Amino acid sequence: MAGSLAPVFEPGFFSSSPVHVALIVGGVVAIVSGVVGTFTVMRGQAFAGHSLADIGTAGGSAAFLVGVSPLYGFVTMNLIAAGAMELIGIRRPRGRDLATGIVLGAALGLAALFLYLDTTHSSTTGATINVLFGSIFEFPSSLVPVIATFSVVATGIVLLSYRPLLLSSLSPDLAAARGVPVRLVGIGYLVSLAVAVSLSAVTIGAILSTALLIGPAAAALRITKRAPLAMAIAAAAGVAATWLGILLAYDSYDWAPGHRGWPVSFFVVTLVFAFYLVIHMSIGRSHGHGHPSVGTGAA
Amino acid sequence: MFSGFMVTAWEAATIVAVVAGVVGFFTVLRGSAFAAHALPNGAFAGAAGASLIGVNVIVGLGVFALLGALTIGGLGRRARQDVATALAIVMMLGLGALFLSMTTEYAPEIYSLLFGEVLGVSGSELLPTAVIGMVCIAVVFVLYRPLLLSSIMPDAAEARGVNGRRMDLAFLVVIALATTMAVPVVGSLLIFSLLIGPPAAARSFTSKPLHAMGLSVALALGTVWAAVALSFATNLPIGFFVGAISACSYAAGRSWVAWRRTRPVTKISRTGLLRA
Amino acid sequence: MEFQADADLPPILTVEGVNVWLSGRQILHDVNFRIEAGEFTGLIGSNGAGKTTLLRVILGLESPTSGRVLVGGRPRSPRNPLIGYVPQKILLDPDMPLRARDLVALGLDGHRFGLPRRSTAQKVLIDEMIDAVDATSFADARVGILSGGEQQRVLIAHALISRPRLLLLDEPLANLDIRSEQEVVELVARIASEQQIAVLISAHDMNPLLPVMDRVIYVAAGRVASGTTEEVVTTEALSELYGHHVDVVQINERILVVAGRETAAHHDHSDSRAE
């Protein structure tokens, strides 16, 4: 058995400590993304979810500048951004997209400034790449407990407010009529989204954070309309894509060109995209004129 | 400040601002902020790919921006458009990560693609920028009324023969073209600020659609010119100034609306800004 | 009530044996009815009964699985200038830079290419249309900040400015207060009789329409009964349509349709939720 798998698992895959950390961190992040992402897709907040990953880069690059872990920069910046979006955002989808866009634009301006200062004032040229594309194999194992804590916070908020959140995601008016504090639930959710996104952006990079947040959840919601099941499928698919991606990236050190290894984010994104596409094709056909899978959060 | 290469920079920035003002009017009106963010960002991957195989960056940008627009349009037909957009952008960026890992580009070059290097625009880049920009503006002007109608009342537009899906796709292609011309000048991350900030601010000041479009062009021009001048004076990246000025003009617009709201109803009603 | 249909004119709308299947479900079952020129018709049914699908079929936005729809005696086509349409909801932010006047003008030429260059005659026409729906006082306000009733009037002007012969309105009374409800109904009825336009107006409550309605098309679970109010809105006719017993009750000139004793209050329930 071990012999037959040897070509798949390159020597050292299971004994390498960075790989262990990557597998653990990637798995945790994929689970949190699946749980939180299911609601992100249901609420039609894919743009906000993606933006937070980009917005966090301003915090992350500022953190580089002061010399603390980017994680804290990401979390701080994202919580501020989530607050700003809530403050200027309106409940109509278009108003919300605009609010997200304005905050994103301003934050990207800051990111430009901080990254510029990073690259000119320090010798580490990798800041830009690192912040945007993440570096799962270079993640310090000392931060794993911090990651775990943030994960528990993000999933905890979603699971604790599960039923009011579900109701207000499907029909804000109905939820309000039933006495659900829609706005408060929305803010709580935005906080958990901000934490979850910071977490994944800093460990696996801003790109992957969106891929894991949206891809598996969107596919899962096309398979089933039941939220708990969708969360489970999304988490499982996310973990599978992440682990497979890490394995492929590890193997790719021997590949052309240059034997420098292909990036993990490329593999994970491709796997997530392919998974969504397969579901999209097979489910989409049978539904013909079917309406969008779940009501638009703010219809 | 107005010597040789600076003149080119001023010209390039001016073209980008005019296009961003016109295209941005509809970006905000149609709520296409996410696509306006995704296409330039994803097209960045095309630039990385182009430099890997040694073709012109504009070609890489154009191919990826158009592919992205088609992916969003295609997937968005049966799924929600925001999900389709998110998937399109991550797929393109994933490819970008791959291309970057294969090139030997230094970080500063990548940085300039992301955040813009208006001072580095060469005279030969000016012509394609201008041509693509004219095409963008022409398409928006030709589609002006059906685009407006289908943004506001898609069913009624459809009943009059305005195909909403075709309008959607046409507009995504316009954003893709604007992206292609603007990324080398202001960078992928900041063309987005220009597509959103000035138009969003403009609509606070006027309730007439064409005036709003004109004002959004004026604000975009002001933003870009100020950003170029400040960037030249301080040596800080232009992207920072574009982002900051855009956000400030939006804030100014909102404050203006808030201030108008506190004024007597009759006056406000007559100017058409607000009614009690 | 008898209709004096002009013998020379074909009915403005003929729906014959229309069946519609969507996503494997049959939404409309063998729908047949006619609307004569100038008639005011109510399309009544609870939410989800198939009213919107029927309107979409008439507009050409949805193709019937079988059956045919004739508009002005000809097969229906998209971009039919004979039909004006008032959609149920429009997508507008309060701060969208679009005045009521601009929306009405789009009714004239919204499908045409190029920037708008409107002639003096067109501007006069726009002003007249705005005046006809009593919208002059807010013609230069942003559409997004108008009240529901004001928005409906602007949308009606938008639909009427291209001089259609048949006006379709999708739930124009939903979310209106009782006074605006009455105003909108009276406005539509007045313009329709002045300009000889046939009207098909969908609603889940028929009561606001009773004073002006020439004919009612009652939709329940995708089936349709049409005729005068007296013919259709009876305990017998509606019980047959629903497939179970319902009672038609008159209280203070209001007509209520309530589920009968034998069955669960299905229809009643969906109606009360719609309010």
pLDDT digits (tens, 9 = 90+) for C61-107: 888 889 889 888 888 776 778 899 998 878 777 888 999 999 999 99
CATH 3.40.50.300 positions along chain C are: 1-82+164-228
- Mean pLDDT across chain A: 80
* Residue A209 lies inside a defined structural domain of this protein: yes
The residues near A51 (Cβ < 8 Å, ≥ 6 apart) are A81, A100, A101, A103, A104, B37
Residue A35's domain spans which residues?
15-214
Quick one: pLDDT band at residue C272, thresholds 50, 70, 90? very low
Tokens, residue C30: 């063998």
Beta bridge partners of A62: none
Contact B156 C111 (CB under 8 A): no
Mean pLDDT of C200-214: 88
CA distance A222 to C116: 43
- Tally the domains of chain A: 1
Contact of B265 with chain C, judged by CB distance below 8 Å, is answered with no
Quick one: pLDDT band at residue C247, thresholds 50, 70, 90? confident
Q: Would you call A171 helix, strand, or coil by DSSP?
A: coil
Tokens, residue B109: 């070059």
* Residue B276 lies inside a defined structural domain of this protein: no
Q: Which residue of A has its CA nearest to C273?
A: A174
Q: Which residue of C85, C86, C140 is in closest CB contact with B272?
A: C140
CA distance A262 to C238: 69
How much is the ipTM here? 0.84
Contact C64, C237 (CB under 8 A): no
Choose from B147, B204, B207 for mutation: most chain C CBs within 10 A. B207
Q: Which CATH superfamily is domain C1-82+164-228 in?
A: P-loop containing nucleotide triphosphate hydrolases (3.40.50.300)
* Residue B255 lies inside a defined structural domain of this protein: no
> B196: distance to nearest CA of chain A, Å?
7
Q: DSSP for C97-125, please give it.
A: S-BHHHHHHHHHHTTS-SS----HHHHHH
Contact B28 A47 (CB under 8 A): no
In this model, does residue B164 exceed pLDDT 80?
A: yes
Choice between A58 and A217, residue whose per-residue pLDDT is larger: A217
Contact B247, A102 (CB under 8 A): yes
Contact B245, B227 (CB under 8 A): yes
CA distance A193 to A202: 14
In this model, does residue C109 exceed pLDDT 60?
A: yes
Q: What is the pLDDT of residues A63-100, one digit of tens each?
A: 878 888 778 888 899 999 988 887 776 556 567 788 88
> A262: distance to nearest CA of chain C, Å?
43
Q: What is the pLDDT of residues A35-56, one digit of tens each?
A: 999 999 988 888 988 999 888 8
Cα distances from C195 to residues C37, C73, C107, C188, in angstroms, run: 11, 20, 17, 11
Percent of residues, chain B, with pLDDT higher than 90: 39
- Mean pLDDT across chain B: 85
Give the range among B37-51, B152-166, C76-90 with minimum mean pLDDT.
C76-90
Contact A176, A167 (CB under 8 A): no
Domain of B108: which CATH number?
1.10.3470.10
Contact B159 C115 (CB under 8 A): no
Contact of A107 with chain B, judged by CB distance below 8 Å, is answered with yes
Q: How far is C-alpha B222 from the chain's CA centre?
A: 15
Strands, E assignment, chain A: none
Number of CB pairs < 8 Å for A and C? Answer: 14
* Residue A201 lies inside a defined structural domain of this protein: yes
Contact B71, B88 (CB under 8 A): yes
* Residue B179 lies inside a defined structural domain of this protein: yes
* Residue B44 lies inside a defined structural domain of this protein: yes
Closest by alpha carbon to B250, among B208, B190, B192, B198? Answer: B198
Tokens, residue A20: 């262990």
Quick count: other Cβ atoms within 10 Å of Cβ A188?
17
pLDDT of residue A20: 82
Contact C115 B141 (CB under 8 A): yes
In this model, does residue C207 exceed pLDDT 90?
A: no
Q: How far is C-alpha C209 from the chain's CA centre?
A: 11
pLDDT of residue A295: 33
What backbone torsions phi and psi does residue C203 show, to the nearest 5 degrees? -160, 150
Choose from A36, A108, A208 for mutation: most chain B CBs within 10 A. A108
Parallel, antiparallel or unpaired: strands C246-251 and C254-259: antiparallel
CA distance A293 to A297: 12
Residue B164's domain spans which residues?
4-200
pLDDT of residue A292: 36
The continuous run of DSSP H or E covering C14 comes out as: strand C13-22
Quick one: pLDDT band at residue C41, thresholds 50, 70, 90? very high
Contact B79 A133 (CB under 8 A): no
Give the range among A15-29, A246-260, B21-35, C181-195 with minimum mean pLDDT.
A246-260
pLDDT of residue B143: 95
